[in-house]
Each structure stands twice: as C-alpha cells, then as structure tokens.
Structure 1
Amino acid sequence: MLVQTMPFYRPSCLSSDDSWSLFRQVVFPGDQEQNASTELVRIGKSIVSKCKGLPLAIKTLGSMLRYEMDEERWVNVLKSELWDLKQPQHEILPALELSYKHMPIYLRRCFQALSLFPKVDSILKNEVMKLWKVLDLLDCDGSDADDYKAERLCFMELVDRSILVHDRDESYRLHDLIHDLACFLAGETFYRFEAGTSTEIPENVQYMSILSVPDYVKYGEFPITPCSMRAIFAEGGGNLRNAEPLFLKSKKLRALDLTHIFVEAFPDSLLGSLKQLRHLSLNTCLDKQFTLPSSLFILYNLRTVDLRCNYNKVSLSGIGSLINLHTLPVFHIRRCGCGYNIRDLRNINNIRDLDIYGLDSVSCVEDANEARMQNKRNLRSLELDFSCARKICKCTPLPTPGSIPQDQVLERLRPNHNLGELKIRHYKSHVYPYWLGCASYSKLFRVELLDCEFQQIGVLGGLPSLKYLVLDSMNSMECISSDVFRRSAGYKGFPSLTELSFRKMSVWSEWYVHDGEFPCLRTLWLVVCPKLRSLQFVPFLSLSEFYLICNDNISVFPASPNLRTLEFRRCSNLRSIGFEHSLNPVQLHHSSSSTSEEVSTLPKLTTLALNQCPNLTAVVPLPSLTTLYLSNDLRGEILHRMLNDHPSLESLSISELEVAGISLEQQSLPSLRRLRIGWCDHLQYCDGLTGLTSLQHLEVMDCPKLTIHDVHSLELKTLIITNMFEDESENNED
C-alpha cells in the first residue's frame, strides 16, 4: 500500500466582488436592493468579508437575511461571537450556525431531525415530511390538512434558507457540512443506528433512526432502547428477529415506524404497555397468516396504524376500540372471524381517510346504518368497494345471509357533508343513493365511479365544488345527458368541473351537452370508448387539453378555439382535425387567400400527438404549434404535410413509421431546436436535416437503414445516434 501526504484542502473561494454579487443576488431578490439603506449595504459588505469568499457561507447567510431590512439584526450577525472560531476547518461553520440561531424554534427542531438521515446524494421531500409527522415535531390542530400544510411550509423555509437545495423532481440535496452541523446541534437527542455504531444506545436519545440492521442484531437481539425514547423511525431495510428490546424500557414511545424492517416476533404484553403510542407502522410477511398482538387494541391514543402487508391475511378484529384513529388500514369486511364487521366503525369518528372493501359481504342493512358515517366530521376521503372479499384465511366461514340490495347499503353509508373525495367501485345497482349529488356536499371536489351500473351522471352536476370526475368501466351507461336531472330552466350542471375522464365505456355511444354546462372544463380524457360516434365541443369553450385513445367510430374532430394540447392514439376512423362542418377540407387546405391565423380553428394549439391514425387526411393549419409527436401508421401525404409550414415548431418526435424517407425544410421549420427519430426500421434517408440551422438537440435511435451525412456541420449541444447504418454509428453527447 502506498501512503503519501496530501496538502490540506480548502474549498475554492470567490473574489470580493463576486462574493458581494452572490450575497446581493440572494438577499435582495428582484429590485429589493433599491429599498436598502446605505448603512445596511455597508453592514452587508462587512458580513460578506467575514465569509472569506466561501459560497456556501455567503448563500446561507444571504438566505437567512432575505427580506430582512432591520439594521440591528444585521449588526447582531456581524458582531456574533461565532466568527471567532480559530480552527481552519470551521471556516464555514460560523455562518451555518448563525443561520441556525436565527431560525424560529419550531424550525430548529425540524433542522436537527435531518441528522437522522444518512449522508447521501439526495433525500426525498416526502420522506422528510413523513419523518417530521412521525416525530410530531410541529404543533398543529391535528387535522391532516393542517399537518401537511405546516410540514410543507417548514420544508420550503429550509429551501429558502439554502439548507436544502433542489436537485430534481422531488429530490433535494443536503450539503455534507450542513448535515454535520445538524448532527452536532442534535447532540444525543437524535441518534442514527447503523452498521458500525456502538452496541449501546446513549441514555438521552429521544429520536432514533435505524439505517441498517447489523449482523450482530440480525442473529441476536437489538440493543435496549433507553426510557427517554420518544420515536423510532426505520429508514433502512433488514430483518429483526426479536423486537422486545425496542419496548422493554421505552414506555414513553409515541411513534414506531418499522415500515422498512420485517420483525419476526412482537412481544404482546410489552407492546400493550406503550400507552402514549400515537403512530404505528409495521411490515408483515406477505406469505403467512399474521395476527396482530391483541394488546394493540388497547392503545387508545393511537392515531395512525399503517400496515405493509397482504390485508387478506391479517386479522384486525377488535380495531373498533381505537376511537382516536386518524388513518386506518384498508377495512376488509369478510364473512369470517378475522375480518371487520362494518359496525366496528361506529365510534371511530376522528378518521380522515377510509377505504371499505367487501361491502357485498355486509350481513344486514342495519350493520351499515350502525357505521354512523354521518358522525365522522373529519372524514375527507372515502372509498366504497362492493366486491366480495376473497376467502384466503383458515377461519370457519360465518353463515351466509340472504342477498342484501346494494342500493340500500349505499344509502345508509351516507357520509358527513365535509367529505372531499369519494370513490365507488363494483356497485351493481342502477339506483343512485338519494344523497349523492346533493348541493350540501359543498366540499366534495373529486368523484370516481368504477364498474358501477349507474346509467347517468347528471345527478352529479349539482355538486358545486366538483373539480375532478372519473367514470371507468361503466358498462350500463349508453347515453349521457343531464336532461332528466335538470332542476330548473336556468340550471347549469358541473359549474366547477375542470377535469373529466371516461375510461373503458364499452356501450356508451351518445353524449348530449347543453349550453352553459361544464363552463370550467379544462381537460377531457376519452379512453377506450369504442362506440362513441361524435364529439360536441361547441359548449366547451374553456377546454385546453383533449385525449382520444382507442376509438374506431369518431371521424371528425371539431373546432375548439382554446385547445392547447391534443392527442389521438389508435383512432382508426379519424379523418380530419379542426374543420367546421360547413368547410370543405380540400378547399381549406389549398386556400391561399387567407393567412393560417385567419383560417385555423385551432389557433392556440401548441402540442399535437398522432399515433396510429391510418385514415387521417386533413388537419387545419396550426399557427401556434411548438411540439409535435408522430408515430405508427400515418399516411405519407399527411406525414409530409405535418412536417412543413410550422414556423413556430420547436420540438419534433418521429417514431415507428413505415416510411423509406422524410424531408425537412429549413424554411418550413425555422424554429426547430429538438429532433428525435426512433425505431423506424425502413427509414433510409432524412433530406434537409443538415440545413436545419436552429437545431440544437438531435437523437436518432434504432434506425438501422438510415444514413446521415455531414451531421457534424450542425452546431449541436446534444447528439445521440445509436444502431444506425454501420458506417455512421456514433454516440456523442456534448
């Protein structure tokens, strides 16, 4: 082994001017600097000089002082004793600790909790917020909505302070030095248990994360947790043979989350001694019959029970005694001893989200009435599934009652008026419950109906706040019209609906819409509605997104002046897009007396996707089109037409087309910046490609017969070419 001495590493530093520029950019967003006094600017420059050109220190302090115009506070930062640390390795830490000391108290606890995560490239926003919720670090009124709002605001405040830096999607980065500070400030209050740590847990630990289960624990016992423990949170995976040491002394435990760890044995009596437990998450074996410890059902302070398991193999009988529950595992009703009886819901009135499966197994109508759904004022989301739960357990089946009409069960499960989301599945009756559609459900914003035998939807038009409606596999619904439900001459149905989705509607053929209905509709999905013959878009003046997938009857897509996104997939009979019935498509296409803006009936369309539309022959001019996707079974003439005369087109994707060649012209595509060609087995040439002077990104994949010459003459930022003609194969990315 070769060992050599390396010089002490110091992070790269900014010049004085660059340091002030970075600080000013962070602390004075927009034109806020003009509101700052000369003295404040002088103090700011002095603070920046103490950061010694270190970008992390400058950005963190700048984020802390953002929007803060109090000179006294800036002076306090400038004269803080923390700047006097002498060790060179602590050059950044004074600025970071200053940022911490100026946090509100509630945010300090949330920051310290970040020490429970390992040093990794990124952490997920939802994982951080879940941790705060499990640890009960934020004081809220107890509602899930307020909890989520508080957690999200705290998270964004840490982002604003540059403690967390957005990486991609829902991932954020936590700088190693900031993580070190969180660990230092957390002291023994927060503790990470992982491979390589001590076999003993410090006595003052209150919050512990389990990042991994070391071998000595897998084959032995977990170290005994101290009596000060309040919460245990499993972040890593593994198996734990005996969980008894987790509970032996931890009588004040409030949260136990073992979602990522499989525990082979639960000590029944010890679990029952955790009287203050509020949150319990367990991971049970999917392949075995599993019985929860009976002592679980005397933990009256429990708010959350979360099980990662096969619910058909877990007995939850007795859960009705947990009257303070906010969340509950899926409520399976079975005609055996291990399932729920719907009467168990009688006193669980603080529940927020509830999924009830197996409603076809309800023994009598009175049982549904005893659930007392109207007493659950905090219930926000409700799913009612009328399928019959499968019999997998070994329990002796209970006597099968006579058939209970499902409409009588649904009528008695009327929820409280505070409900926000409702889903009904496998309901085998065409009778709507009296309560569904009542205007008194003023907070109901989402409804999903799946495999139900309702024959109309007009009754839902009276819900004043309904924004999202999904109809899936409604195989008794042939014609949709609100005529039979119109309450008065001035009645306008679905006043707030913004997104409407029809899926797998096997017999639906007619849809009648009246003027004034759906005034706010933005997005419409028609997926596998094979018998629908025509579309009525005149009333949908607000529609901006439309998706038609798997339809063999619709031949004409009418005008829609505000449409911005349009997708057709597997529409074998579609012939024209955007033409008024009074216009001749051939004459319109060849017209030279009108500009495209004057002729087009889709003037705002920016995104168009065509896939497997073999009979499409006419598309109106699209003056605003910026993104175009073409794939699978399109006629040569429509393909040529779509590739020309789009001055605003910026992105073009061509895939799985059975053509030998395509032509692209610079004068027709002056704005094209991104081109993607893929999986065209017969494509041999692409004329005009090297003449596209605006092109910046080119991707060609799996076109084995295609050759491209002089591609390097293009000034590309990204070039990816794979599986082309052998002489031209390359794979580059700048």
Structure 2
Amino acid sequence: MAEALVSGVLEQLTAVAGKGIQQKVRLVVGVDEEVKKLSSNLEAIQAVLVDAEARQVTETAVRRWLDQLKQASYDIEDVLDEWNYAILKQKLEGVEDATGPKKKVCFFFPSYCFSFKQVSLRNDIAIKIKEVNENLDVITKQKERYSFNTITRVERLEHVQTTSFIDVSEEMCGQDACKSILIDKLCASTEQRLPIISLIGMGGIGKTTLAQFAYNHDKVMKSFDERIWVCVLEPFDEHRIAKAIIESLEGSTINLIELQSLHKRISTSIQRKKFFLVFDDMWNEDFKKWEPLYRCLKNGVHGSKILITTRKESVAKIMGSMDIINVQGLNDEECWLMFKRLAFFDRPFEECERLEEIGKKISSKCQGLPLAAKTLGSFLRFKKSWEEWKCVLDSELWKLKEIEEEVFRPLLLSYNDLPCLIKSCFIYCAIFPKDYGLKKDELIKLWMAQGYVKEEENKAMEIVGEEYFNYLASRSLFQEFEKDDENNVIRCKMHDLIHDFAQFLCKNECLHIEVGGIKEPIINSCNHEKVCHVITTIYRENLFPDSIFSLRRMRSLLCCSSYPGGILPPNMLSKLFGKLTCLRALTISRGLREIERIEEIPKEVGKLIHLRYLNLRGSGMRKLPETLCELYNLQTLNISLCGELEELPQGMEKLIKLRHLQNFGTWSLRYIPEGTQRLSNLRTLGYFVISGSNDEKACSLEGLKYLNLYGELYIGMLGNVLNVEEVKRLEIKSQKSLLGLTLDLREDDNGRERRNEEDETLLEVLQPSLNLEKLKILSYRGNIIMPNWMMSLTKLRHLRLDGCSNCKHLPPLGELPSLEYLDISLLNSLKSVSNEFLRKENDGTSSSSVFFPKLKTITFWFIYEWEEWDYEITRIGEEEVTTIMPSLVSLKIYDCPKLKALPKHLVQNTRLKKDISYCPLLD
C-alpha cells in the first residue's frame, strides 16, 4: 500500500507544482528547493518499495519503517491537497481584500495584488512543506540500513470484462459424505426438542458453503414451514440476532428495544411453525447469552432444527449441540478439480497439458481448503508461463510461521501480484463489517475519493474503477454476487476469512466501531496515528463517541445507525466538520425506516476542503448551506431521498470536480440552480426538475445540452414548459450515453389548464438517442402515445407507461425488437387491447411475423375500465402470424376489475407464471 501512496504523492506533487507555476501562485522564497528535495526523496524511496513491501511480512523492522513512510505520505498528500485547493480558490473566487468583500480579478495577476490573508495562507503551506520534508528526510536516510534492492515493477492490468470471472461462491464442490450426512440429519425425525446440529472446522474449509447447500436443498425446503438464516459473527449481539430472526419471519424490522420483548415476539411468530434456523459463523462461548434465545425458540413446532457453523468445537458443545459434523478439507482430487477449473479457464488444451503436473503440486499446497484452491486458481489463471507457476510453487511464503491462518499464504501470493493501486482498493474493503453487502457503484466512488482510482487516457475514472472491481472479483476476492436484469453485478460480499486477511494487511488503519451494542468502542486502545478509515454502527440515541474526534488523520467516516436519532446529534455535526478536516469521504445518511433525520447541515461543512465524497441520503434538511460550494474537490454528492430539500446552493457552478449529483427521489426540489449547466465533469444527474416560476436562478431545460450525462436521467415537471422551441434546442437525442430516460409531464399547480395536443407536441420533440434502453412516460395527457420516434428505439428493453389518462389505445409495441419488460398502469381511458398493440395500422404488410420477440415480463396495474384483451390477426398480408410473445415468462395483472379473459396464446402458455389479483380472472 505504501507503494501506491508514494506513487500517488509523486504524481500529485508534479501536478500541483506545475499548476502553481502556470497560474503564478508562488509560495515563499526557498520553497522551490524544498519541493525539489521532496520529489528527490520520494523518488529514492519509490525505487526500493517493491523489495520493502515483499520483506515486511518477515521483517518487523521493515514493517515499522513502511508504517512511518505511510504516515508521512498521508501528511504530504494533505499539504499538497491544501496547495491545490488554494490554486482552485484563486481561480474560482478571485482574491479577498483584507478589509472588504470578495472581488473578482483577472486569472493572472502580479504578487502585489495578494491580500495579507493570502500571503498568510501561502506561508502556512510553505511551512508545512518544510515540516513534512524534514520528516521524510529522516525516513529516506533510515532506508539505507536495510540494504533494499532496487526493483522496477511492471504494472500489468489484464482487462477483465464484467461477465468473464467465474462465480463459484454458491457451488458445492466435493464433500459428498458431509452433504449426505447433513441432509439426513436435518430431515430425520427426532425425539429431542429443537436439536442443534453443528458444522465445525477451520476457516476457509467450506462450512458456510455446506450450510448454504443444505439450506437450499429441495428435501430440506419441503421439510420445514420456515427457513431463517442469521450471520452471527463476533461479538454475539443478542439484540441484533433477535431482530434478524423477526425480520426473516415477518419481512420487516420492528421498533422493539428490550430483549425480553424481542424474544416474546419471536416466540409468538414461530408458534405452529416448523422452522429451520441457521446460525452462521458462531463464536459465542457464554451460555448465559445464548440460553434466553434458545428457550424462546423452543416454542416452534416439534421437528424444528437449528444448524450452526463455527470454527471452535467448544462453541458447539456450549450451545448444547448433540450432532457435531467435523467438516474436513477436500481430498486431493476434489481440490485439484476446483483449482483446475479456475486456473485453466479459457486456456488452450496444449497449455493445460504443459502446466498440469506443476499445477497439481501447487494444488496440494492448498491442504484441501476450498477457499485457498479457489483463490490460488483464480490468481494463476492469469499466469501464462511455466516459469511464473514455478515461482509460485517455490515461494518462501509457504514457509512463513508468522501467518497463523493456513489460507493466508495463498491469499498473500494473490495479493502480492495485484497492481499497487488495486492493493489499496482491496485493503479499503476492510472498513466494512463482516457479511456486509458491498454496493459496487458506491465502493468505486469511495475508491475514487481516496485517490486509488484515476482517469486514464480516454477512460473515465468510473470505468477504471469498474475494471479494478472486476480484477478483484476475477481473483475470487469477492463472492455472493447480486446482479440486475442486465446481468451486471450490483452488490457482493467478502468471505469472512478474506475480510480477516484484509484486516491483517491494513494493520488497524480500518476500524468498525459499534456504539451502544455489545461491542464497545476500542478507540482509546488503538494507535490514533494509524486510523484512517472508520465505519460506525450506533445502537442507541445520542451515543456518538466523542473520542472519535481524536482521530485527526481520518480520511473516511461512514456513519450508520440502527436507532432513530442515533446517527449524529446536531451539535456533533459542527464539531465533526471543524475537527476531522482530513476527511475524503463522509456518510451521514439515513435509512428509509428511520424516523428522526438530520434537519440542518451546518455552514462549517465548508472546512472539509479535502472532501471528495459526501453522502447525505435520506436526510431531512430543507436546504444546503452555500459554504458547501467551497468543497471544490467534491466528486460525489448524494442527496437522494431527501424529501424535504427544496433548493440547492446557488454557487453549484464552483463544484468544478463534481461528477455525480445523486438526487433521485428528492421530488421536493423546486429547481436546479442555473450554474449546474457549467459543471463540465458531471456524469450523473438523477433528477432534473423544470421550474414553474420562470425563475432566473433556475437552470433551463436547454441547459442540459451542455452536459455529457451517463446512465439514467429523470426529467420532472415537463408540464411547466411554456416554450416548445426551448425543448427543440435541447436536442436530447445527442445525449448518446443516456441509456435510461424518464419523462414526467406533470406541472406545478399554476392555475393554467394544459391541452392534450400540447403534451403530444412536447413528447414529439423530446426524441431520445437511439441508444436508449429504458424509457418511462408519466402523467402524459395526449390522446395517443405514439411519437414518430417510438418505433426507432430498436435497443429499448424496458418501457413503462404510467398515468397516460387520455389514451384509449396502446401503441404498436409488439414491433419493438428488443423490448423485455413492459409496465402499464393508470390508463384510465383504456377499454380494449387488440391488434394495434402488436403492429402499426398500415397497408397490411409487416417486416416480421413475430411480435414482442423478446418480451419476458408484462405488468398491468390499476386499469379500472379495461374490459377486453384479444387479437383477431391470423395473417399479415400473405404471411401467417406464427408467434406472439414467445419469450414471455411472467404476467402480472393487478386491480383491473372489468377484465374477464386473456388472449388464447397466453392461456395456453404452460411456462407462463401468472400473478393476477383483484380481477375476475381469478375465478
């Protein structure tokens, strides 16, 4: 990690010094020499870091030296960031006179124009540069005592596509005997009341995978009324576990706080139910903590069973387990098969033959541990030559006694091979608790905030970050991938042991602090100088730990709460902004279920000059302070679901590095500030609202054309548009990177009655790019939903029509070749669906005899006047109609009370899963 830090600092030093010269932001006399010396020391250290990183595992003195270097590098990074901030401030705001208000000045100006305040700022930065240089000078001299070798690393990043890594996280390889024994025990009848079965074995042996296999086995699923999975972890938190059981049984969390009340709720919920409960990763050896929960679980139907997984046999015995299954490692053949499947994936047959013998020797080093075989196989998948495989076999890491966990050795081999920036990305994941669902997009933004992901030639940071994510996934360092409809990974987890490994590498730089729960804060016992990244979980109101403000080097603070009002008391926010000024990433967001929310963001937020990532999701403030616009480095601002927020700061144009303005669900916004159109780096804008008051402070719809947006965009209050010519000038079809578009034609209550033809004209000129894949049309008042461009959207996969109240007929959507998901709701004038739904009314000819060729799901909601759904077409011209909706697997019809029959081809579709409610079709 030190290697990545030093490399980044050197790059930053060159860039900032270059800007200073170009923009004539000079520091005090003599500092130029200090900058040169700083650069020289960093280059000298960089030359030996490959050797130092390799030796730190076995040499404590080298590890301490690298720790000193990391802390010094963080200090240098902060000083350079301050210098860069001063340059940005001068560029954006001009100079501030010592006795008066701000004055805008020319971009270049002589030194006599500077105010005393700016001279003081330059002196302050210069002094800090000298201080960090003196510290680095000592570290540079110390390196001589270790006789490091100079090694040049050649960074190679194989470009791994999203779908090319192999997800084996849920597959069960080998261990057939264990599988059979476990299934038999779970399904057998027993006289014992609520028996406990335990899977024990070392970390990485496959206990959780075996439990997942049983949990999802058909025989087990048929044997129980309810199945519950709880990841226990250390420490054993009775409140959290009880709530997890209730949530699994009832589908939602509850506001009960007392443990007795929670246990009573569980006891009531499982009455008359035969349940199967899995406690995964159990460590608790205190029977007193376990007994009350076990007692209330006995209220279930006879035949209910509990399965636990644990690394310690003593835990199984303390919990009263009568059946203990000792999970053994894979045998040599099973281990080789798992290793081979990954290491030889997509490799030519001749190459596999050449590497098979040495591959079996490496596989045997895994000692039957599935996680070791999986990780090492994934790592060697990218090693092409026999010599590279031989280096792995002969590595000294296999002999290390310092590493307690056997599986850490193959993990260390895989980690050492990562490019230095990707090492930093991996270690950063240690900030999250075990079993945490890592959201890919959020994780990439956090990496960006720390400087681990940078733009490459013709490649945006976000794309580079996705490649880094895929790189780690391809080496099996992530698992349990959750995917969207397009098969893109949106969320994943880390195996417990891989999380332990990341914690082992980060050496207390990343902390998870629980407050008010079982595990009390350990801040006072940790090295304050080392802690850089903290995630807090707060279980009680107003218990935010004051001692956290002593962690002055902190670069990430992600606050979570499982208690209403427990995130950050209002008085704490000002203190946080004033003291933790090194922060690059800050989350103080609320969950949707929380009651009390942060109602005000103090103006002191402007002190966080290093901040790149600010997540205020779900907060309750009505507006944001103007000082937020002084965060010139900000890349991500998440204000989604801030339901009270009415306006954004007027100085938004100063956020020149802003890339993501996430404001989806913030429907209370009255307008988007006019300066937003000048944010040339902006890639994400969730919600663009058109002002109904023709306010000069508001960005016009035409302003969108100056942005290059990616992903999805929701344009709200289109009914406020008075001038269609303005919409024409927008030319939204030129936004080639917009793949999703929502057109909401509602309007402010301004007393003006809109005409149907106005919406028809407006929809016609809002022609999107031909690349569009998702389209939603909401609150449309036209008589027909058929703009001329509709049928040209050949890539359209998702379509939603909602609240188009005057439409009596559906457009010919059957001719859209890529449409997969169709959602239609609140069409109050629709009475019949017939031929026009399949094709255009034309001269009787058509280019296809297959309609809706790729449609998978179709949903109808709240269409109260709909009576008939039938087609009369049997031929189109001379060609017979052969197929309608051949790919359809799901039909949902809700609240359509007058619809009495389905088309024949839907009735006869045996593959079709129907979900029909509040409709006569149920009869």
Q: TM-score, normalised by structure 2?
A: 0.49
**What is the DSSP-based 3-state SS (H/G/I as helix, E as strand, rest coil) of the residue aligned with 1:554?**
coil
Q: Show CA shifts across 1:453-495 (max 9, x none).
A: 3344445455444343333222333443337533672433856
Contact 2:855 2:885 in 1 (8 A): no
Q: Matched residues in 2 for 1:70 and 1:147: separation?
A: 27
Question: Shift of the alpha carbon at 1:277?
Answer: 1.4
Distance in 2 separating the partners of 1:251 and 1:290: 28
RMSD of equivalent CA atoms: 4.9
Distance 2:790 2:424 in 1: 45
Alignment of 1:40-51 (within 5 A): 40=355, 43-44=358-359, 46-47=361-362, 50-51=365-366
- Choose between structure 1 and 2: higher strand proportion: 1
In 2, Cα distance between equivalents of 1:466 and 1:227: 51
Q: Which amino acid aligns with 2:657?
A: N
Instruction: Specify the SS of the correspondent of 1:381.
Output: strand
Give the conservation status (yes or no) of the 8 Å contact 1:541–1:560: no
Q: Which residue of structure 2 lines up, in the alignment, with residue 135 of structure 1?
A: 447
Asked if the contact 1:332/1:389 (under 8 Å) is kept, the reply is: no
Residues 424 and 450 in structure 1, CA contact (< 8 A), matched pair in contact too = yes
CA contact (8 A) 1:13 1:55 kept: no
Alignment of 1:523-538 (within 5 A): none
| d(CA) in 1 for partners of 2:361, 2:882 | 65
Match of 2:164 in 1: none
Shift of 1:185: 2.6
Q: Where does residue 335 of structure 1 map in the other structure?
A: 692
Contact persistence 2:542–2:568 (CA under 8 A): no
- 1:540 and 2:866 correspond: no
What corresponds to 2:768 in structure 1?
Answer: 415
Say yes or no: does 1:430 pair with 2:783: yes
User: In structure 2, what is the equivalent of residue 223 of structure 1?
Assistant: 549
- Indicate yes or no: 2:715 matched with 1:356: yes
Identify the structure with bigger relative contact order (alpha carbons < 8 Å, sequence gap 6+): 2
Asked if structure 2 preserves the Cα contact closer than 8 Å seen for 1:437 and 1:459, the reply is: no
**Could you say which residue in structure 2 is the equivalent of 1:481?**
835
Residues of 1 paired with 2:655 and 2:671: CA distance?
Answer: 17
In structure 2, what is the Cα distance between the partners aligned to 1:515 and 1:151?
Answer: 53
Q: Find the counterpart in structure 2 of residue 325 from structure 1.
A: 682
Is 1:266 paired with 2:610?
A: no
Partners of 1:63 and 1:31 lie apart in 2 by: 6
The amino acid that maps onto 1:472 is: S
Contact 1:537 1:558 survives alignment (8 Å): no
SS at match of 1:259: coil
Query: Which one of the candidate residues 374, 379, 387 is aligned to 1:72?
Result: 387
What is the rounded CA distance, in whole Å, between the counterparts of 2:326 and 2:384 in structure 1?
27
Alignment of 1:91-240 (within 5 A): 91-103=406-418, 107-118=422-433, 120=434, 122-125=435-438, 127-136=439-448, 150=467, 153-154=470-471, 156-158=473-475, 161=476, 164=479, 174-186=494-506, 195=515, 196-198=521-523, 209-212=535-538, 218=544, 223=549, 229=555, 233-234=558-559, 238-240=567-569
Structure 1 residues 554 and 449, CA gap change in structure 2 (3 angstroms): same
Secondary structure at the counterpart of residue 177 of structure 1: helix
Amino acid at match of 2:391: N
Q: Partners in 2 of 1:130 and 1:512 — Cα distance?
A: 47
Give the counterpart letter for 1:365 in structure 2: V
Q: Tell whether the 8 Å contact from 1:269 to 1:295 is kept in structure 2 after alignment.
A: no
- Contact 2:773 / 2:796 at 8 angstroms: preserved in 1? yes
CA contact (8 A) 2:646 2:668 kept: no
Aligned to 2:911: 564
Q: From 277, 297, 300, give the equivalent of 2:656.
A: 300
Q: CA deviation at 1:322?
A: 3.2
Which residue identity does 2:446 align to in structure 1? V
1:21 to 309, 333, 337: 333
Q: CA deviation at 1:274?
A: 2.4
Rate the CA distance shift 1:252–1:304 in 2: closer, same or farther, 3 A.
farther
Q: Structure 1 counterpart of 2:746, which letter?
A: S
| Contact map agreement 2:671 2:689 (CA 8 A) in 1 | no
- Separation of aligned partners in 2, 1:131 and 1:283: 17
Output the CA distance in 2 between the equivalents of 1:39 and 1:510.
63
**1:640 equivalent in structure 2:** none
SS at match of 1:60: helix
**Residues 71, 429 of structure 1: alpha-carbon distance in 2 compared, 3 angstrom cutoff:** same
Task: Output aligned runs, 1:56-67, within 5 Å.
Answer: 56-66=371-381
What residue is the counterpart of 1:383 in the other structure? 742
Q: Which amino acid aligns with 1:444?
A: L
Rate the CA distance shift 1:406–1:180 in 2: closer, same or farther, 3 A. same
Matches within 5 A, 1:492-503: 492=848, 494=851, 496-499=853-856, 500-503=858-861
For residue 28 of structure 1, give the secondary structure of its aligned residue in structure 2. helix
Query: Cα distance 1:540–1:251, how it changes in 2: closer, same or farther (>3 A)?
Result: same
* Other structure's SS at 2:807 match: coil
Residues of 2 paired with 1:295 and 1:222: CA distance?
32
Which structure 2 residue ranges, 5 or more long, are not aligned?
1-284, 287-310, 315-324, 485-489, 516-520, 592-596, 608-627
How far residue 212 of structure 1 moved from its aligned partner, in angstroms, is 4.8
User: Following TM superposition, by how much is the alpha carbon of 1:115 offset from its aligned partner in structure 2, in angstroms?
Assistant: 0.6
Distance 1:514 1:235, change over 3 A: farther
Cα–Cα, structure 1 residues 133 and 221, in superposed 2: closer, same or farther, change >3 Å? same
Judged with a 3 Å threshold, the aligned counterparts in structure 2 of structure 1 residues 541 and 516 are, in CA distance, closer, same or farther, namely farther
CA contact (8 A) 2:785 2:811 kept: no
Partners of 2:851 and 2:417 lie apart in 1 by: 49
Mapped partners of 2:816, 2:902: distance in 1:
33
1:311 aligns with 2:667: yes
Distance change in 2, residues 1:316/1:39 (3 Å): closer
Cα 1:187–1:295, aligned 2, differ >3 Å: closer, same or farther?
farther
- 1:98 Cα deviation (Å)? 1.4
Q: What pairs with 1:638-677 in structure 2 (closer than 5 Å)? A: none
Identical counterparts, % of pairs: 23
Call closer, same or farther: CA 1:224–1:359 in 2, change over 3 Å: farther
Amino acid at match of 1:491: S
Shift of 1:514: 3.7
Q: Closer, same or farther in 2 for the Cα pair 1:346/1:36, shift >3 Å? A: closer
Asked if 2 retains the 8 angstrom alpha-carbon contact of 1:546 and 1:565, the reply is yes
Instruction: Name which of 782, 787, 799 aligns with 1:447.
Output: 799
Shift of 1:24: 0.5
CA contact (8 A) 1:426 1:451 kept: yes
Give the C-alpha shift of residue 52 in structure 1: 5.1
Q: What is the distance in 2 between the residues matched to 1:358 and 1:156? A: 41
Sort the Cα spacing of 1:382 and 1:26 in 2 relative to 1 into closer, same or farther, 3 A.
Answer: same
Number of aligned positions between the proteins: 536
CA 1:551–1:407 in structure 2 vs 1: closer, same or farther (change >3 Å)? closer
Deviations 1:621-667 (A, max 9, x none): xxxxxxxxxxxxxxxxxxxxxxxxxxxxxxxxxxxxxxxxxxxxxxx
Q: CA deviation at 1:451?
A: 1.9
Q: What CA distance in whole angstroms lies between the structure 1 residues aligned with 2:916 and 2:814?
A: 29
Structure 2 CA distance for partners of 1:477 and 1:571, relative to 1, 3 Å: closer
Q: 1:175 to 1:201 in 2, by over 3 A?
A: same
SS state at 2:772 partner: coil
- Matched residue, 2:123: none
Letter of the 1:565 partner, please give it: L
The structure-2 alpha-carbon separation of the partners of 1:567 and 1:206, relative to structure 1 and needing over 3 Å to count, comes to same
Amino acid at match of 2:437: L
Give the C-alpha shift of residue 72 in structure 1: 2.1
Note if contact 2:860-2:892 (Cα within 8 Å) is conserved in structure 1: no
Conservation of the 8 A alpha-carbon contact between 2:763 and 2:787: no
Question: Deviation at 1:175?
Answer: 3.9
Q: By percentage of residues, which structure has more helix?
A: 2
